[in-house]
Amino acid sequence: MYVKRHEFFRWTPRTAWLTVTYVVAVPAAFVYMAFATEGKWEFRGKLKGDTISEF
């Protein structure tokens, strides 16, 4: 059945919601977190006891 999945697929409210969630919402959350934390931490050149937070 896995090989012929495209023949049995139907758009239902559940499959539409899952598609929107995994195609739009999850990547958008990752992009938001990436831009929100851009440049906040610096891991190179720190000594023991130094803080990793830049602001």
Q: How confident is the model at residue 2 (pLDDT cuts 50, 70, 90)?
A: confident
Q: Is the pLDDT of residue 54 over 80?
A: no
Write the pLDDT tens digit of every residue in 11-46.
999 999 999 999 999 999 999 999 998 888 777 777
* Secondary structure in 3-state letters for 5-24: HHHHCCCCHHHHHHHHHHHH
pTM for the model? 0.61
CA angle 33-16-14, nearest 5°? 105
Q: Can you give the pLDDT at residue 19?
A: 93
Joined together, the tokens standing for residue 41 give 């931490």
